[in-house]
A and B are shown apart, each in its own frame.
Chain A
């Protein structure tokens, strides 16, 4: 009712007389239905019905009955000679005429409109030949920022949690008389490890959101979509999906969050389902270890082939999904506004980084903490032998029992032993732990358990601060690498003594003498199944539980089938 008292004598939007006449008719009919008159401005409702709003039509018909249906049909019939099928476009058009007149009063244009800066930038950025190289160069920078520049901070967080923080907890517990108990093991190996699993992603996500905010706020993202549209069309996706794919080579978690830049839910989900096939950096140590053991002469080639396999699988699955699950949802017609280029503001960029990363921490912590504790419990509970709770050899734990029960699933793939299925099980939580689990399950004494020298709280704080300073230094040194200059030789990863022989023997045994093939199948499996628990949490956060399960099950089935193809196919070919 307040609207009436306000009623400033503003410009009223009047449509062409035939439409106005019908609006009056309709408003009168609608006004006779008290429920509608209470809920909506009547003239507005009449306009929406003529414009073909299905949701409001259903509501008006259910509240107003046949009278509304009849009145609307009659109005449409009377208007048909004037506008034919295009009544709704005519309404839009007439609204634009009103707007045009308004803008004419409110705006004076320069006599000779200058070529805007934005248009001039676009002449380069959307250029037929320059557009794609510029885009790829920017994507390379984003990729390097989310990996190389953040790596020192990730290591710092990891070191802080597993060193001083775990030490403090242990000290506090022993002060409380619980030193060395299962409570300490649960807190250190379960809870702190779980929280660490979330926190190590914080620098990665801050970096990603920094890059995304720059790309979005500057207006470039829309140009990227235009430039890459043609290439991505083959996957049933738009150009905008390219960015999450690239980010996926660093880490699936920010890649899944990067799908948020896509416009339709269909595109977000389809991209989110394909992103995990891009081989993330956490899988690399597994490749390096296994390839060094079985293919010492061709390790590089094997690893490169794995990356290509991931891309190929994504392309095939993308085309399959487009024809099956997403058959009824064709890609949304691609029309996209290209906003003028703008200089992003520091405050805006910071706010986005902070808000989005905080949202991840809030949503992911629960699920990851829970999984981490479950895995710890499995490792802690003895099912055979003399071990006590939280003090049992791995092979006698519930973990070994579960892994053993799952092992037959992998028998056709050539690696149906509990040691490997155990590694895949923890790999579901995080790919970073696959190598260490292999070390544990093959009962190789962890050689480099560093001797812990007692430190004071003050020393710890100094150490943490010093670590942060040196991490920042390393990150700054990694910055030139962002543009492709490498200042330092990459670190070599070598297999611990004894592990190589044990792994080799294990794979030979489980595959009936086809160890190398089984290892290849294992690598393909690691490449294609669920990247980590955090990625699962991210998928649920972004797409909901249903799609999370589609993603988990789908990736498992794809990984299993492709690994089967590698192992059995290889055997048939006499590998």
Chain B
């Protein structure tokens, strides 16, 4: 729980992380939350092509530009035991 939060854009391909918060514009936070990126949810980075991420959130697959992924704060704790 004490792991510091970092932007999702830095998580790297293959990482499974827990979403802590969404920074930046309220509109953006709202939109991402509606797509299922709510605090506490588990996010897996399936692809990182250097400009955008492909992430899995539950059964949803989302493409997320770096600009947005920068606003999504996550903790890097591994969740294998969850």
Residue ranges of A at the interface with B (Cβ–Cβ < 8 Å): 51-52, 85-86, 88-89, 92-93, 96, 118-119, 122, 126, 128, 131, 222, 225-227, 229-230, 233, 333-340
Contact-residue bracket for chain B: 20 to 34
Please give, as numbers and ranges, the residues of chain A lying within 8 Å of B51 by CB-CB distance.
229-230, 233
A93 near B38 with CB under 8 A, answer yes
Please give, as numbers and ranges, the residues of chain B lying within 8 Å of A131 by CB-CB distance.
49
Q: Which of A92, A126, A333, A335: most chain B Cβ within 10 A?
A: A335
Q: Could you say which of B26, B39, B56, B68 contacts A335, with CB atoms under 8 Å apart?
A: B68
B60 near A92 with CB under 8 A, answer no
B67 near A122 with CB under 8 A, answer no
Rounded to whole Å, the gap between the CB of B10 and the closest CB of chain A is 17
Interface CB pairs A-B, < 8 A, 26 = A52-B26, A88-B26, A88-B30, A89-B22, A89-B26, A89-B29, A92-B30, A93-B33, A96-B36, A96-B38, A118-B61, A119-B61, A122-B47, A122-B54, A126-B47, A225-B63, A226-B47, A333-B31, A333-B68, A335-B35, A335-B62, A335-B63, A335-B68, A337-B35, A337-B62, A338-B63
A93 near B39 with CB under 8 A, answer yes
Please give, as numbers and ranges, the residues of chain A lying within 8 Å of B26 by CB-CB distance.
52, 85, 88-89
Please give, as numbers and ranges, the residues of chain A lying within 8 Å of B50 by CB-CB distance.
128, 230
Known: A126-B54, A226-B54, A230-B50. A335 touches B32 (CB 8 A): yes
Residue ranges of B at the interface with A (Cβ–Cβ < 8 Å): 21-22, 26, 28-36, 38-40, 46-47, 49-52, 54, 56, 60-65, 67-68
B67 near A92 with CB under 8 A, answer no
Q: Could you say which of A85, A128, A233, A334 contacts B63, with CB atoms under 8 Å apart?
A: A334
Report the Cα distance A93→B38, complex, angstroms.
6
B33 near A336 with CB under 8 A, answer no
Rounded to whole Å, the gap between the CB of A243 and the closest CB of chain B is 16
Please give, as numbers and ranges, the residues of chain A lying within 8 Å of B67 by CB-CB distance.
333-334
B54 near A338 with CB under 8 A, answer yes
The chain A residue sitting closest to B34, CB to CB, is A92
Please give, as numbers and ranges, the residues of chain B lying within 8 Å of A226 by CB-CB distance.
47, 49, 52, 54, 63
Rounded to whole Å, the gap between the CB of A530 and the closest CB of chain B is 34
Report the Cα distance A340→B61, complex, angstroms.
8
Please give, as numbers and ranges, the residues of chain A lying within 8 Å of B32 by CB-CB distance.
335
A227 near B49 with CB under 8 A, answer yes
